[in-house]
Amino acid sequence: METSPIPVLTVQTAPFEDQRPGTNGLRRKTAVFEGKKNYLQNYIQSVLSSIDLRDRQGCTMVVGSDGRYFSRAATEVIVQMAAANGIGRLVIGHNGLLSTPAVSCIIRKIKAIGGIILTASHNPGGPSGDFGIKFNVANGGPSPDTVMERIHQVSRTLEEYAICPDLRIDLSRLGRQEFDLENKFKPFRVEIVDSVEVYLQLLRNIFDFNAIKSLLTGQDQVKIHIDAMNGVMGPYVRRILCDELGAPANSAVNCVPLEDFGGRPPEPNLTYATSLVDAMKGGDFGFGAAFDADGDRYMILGENGFFVNPSDSVAIMAANLSTIPYFRQLGVKGFARSMATSTALDRVAKAMKLALYETPTGWRYFGNLMDSGRCSLCGEESFGTGSDHIREKDGLWSVLIWLSIMAARKQGVEQIVREHWAKFGRNYFCRFDYEGLDPRAAFYLMRDLETVISGKAFTNQKFAVGDHIYSVERADNFEYIDPVDGTVARNQGLRIIFTDAARLVFRMSGSGGGMGATIRIYAENFERDPERQNRETQVVLGPLIAIALKLSNIHERTGRRGPNVIT
């Protein structure tokens, strides 16, 4: 019996005023997406309509999620709307799951027009948590500012959306599903693919898997402890680190993706990955790592819980890229870091006589640099590192880089870090996060602070804290001019740079879940003397933090007694 074509409906709607995507797409409380009529549909239509109609007809898109609550329902809506809007094929991860690096990988592999990722990264999940929608473009990377602005402009005037409400797919069944639609000449196709396989093939071409396998299984094997934090990375960790590279099955914990991530924020830092920290402090493991919900961020710990600062991590990777077959074959073109990230990477770039690019926060700024062949490795202080193998930061790739370095140098994590400090100097670095602030109070605080540091009298000003004296060399509101296309990004954070290479940075973050504003304060102090490289970070940076608190008056102006998170 022949089935009738699935009808395509046009539904009337009204625009929402708060659908401007931020650094990582559109993030809101889950209840907003789930409970506000047409809120999800409006934003998906805005994303689809931002693609030129000629490019959209018959094209291929990728869809994946980190498995958080509401992802399955949202995926079904995306499928129904993609079909109605002329998309020819969707490639979706098994059970809807795809890590952010895997989405980037697949987009590039199959030459898709882009991809939709359902994630709020390290933000909490569950009905009372956060939800997010991120659109990656054809190079596999996050939307540049021009695309985000286009999406926002569509959202402001949207009056209707197209949908096929009767279209149903089975996310658990691998393979192709085809659907005939009314007034469409070609069937709409959905392909449910193995979440890991394409990404695994890419990693095989980058790394020496035999060397890593020997490290994990050989006579002097390194015992590892990997925490997937009940996000999307569980299947990747089990398949790649355990099945492929031989790590014992009990090396990996919290590998079942859960809609609420087990009730904790899936954030790989010392505050939230406490079970990993405790396990590593026991001394039984030589290497530990944790991943965030969508697999683009990571944390590295060495034996006895030795913490690797993310800014140090990218610098150490840069100094040891010759251990990776991919970089031996293709060469190393240059490095990039976000402005807030410590200058440790700069010192490696200088020693290797390579270009160093300083960008605003947001992975999208690295895309042009990599696409134009200027940059091979990039990183951010927020536990994200990646290279030009894809156009996203990549947590598991970063772990494999570290294991490759350990295998090549036959050293543990702490020894590698300390030898790096001895050679290049140590950049003491920390970040204070003040979350959930009143947006108006945060805005005026930053405005007034900019007025202070912009005054002529501020340059050359001296600050004395105890026996420390810091002299201001320069201060500004960071502005970035893209060396590829000349686009300008202004107001990207306030910088105070001192004459001894110490730095303070103040930045308002744009990646929250709609729960107020976040102000981040970053402090950095450079130490060349190896005899002074083993001190406590907070002790070293205490005087700089005192200056930051005095300049900003953040506690007095916000009513806070301290930061929510210190990293």
What type of residue is 304?
N
What type of residue is 394?
D
Task: Judge whether 70 and 131 are in contact, CB under 8 Å.
Answer: yes
Residue with tokens 């001019």: 481
Residue with tokens 């790590």: 247
User: Which one is catalytic: 50, 99, 121, 387?
Assistant: 121
Residue with tokens 């709609």: 514
**Helix (H) or strand (E) run with residue 473 in it:** strand 468-477
Taking the C-alpha atoms of residue 146 and residue 87, their distance in angstroms, rounded to an integer, is: 22
Length of the chain: 567
121 is catalytic: yes
Residue with tokens 């196709």: 189
Taking the C-alpha atoms of residue 10 and residue 437, their distance in angstroms, rounded to an integer, is: 40
Residue with tokens 């396989």: 197
The b-or-e profile of 254-287 (16+ CB within 10 A means b, else e) is bbebbbbbeebbbbbbeebbebbbebbeeeebbb
What type of residue is 316?
I
498 vs 274, 338, 380, 452, 552, CA distance in Å?
A: 35, 19, 22, 16, 17
What type of residue is 446?
M
Active site amino acids:
121
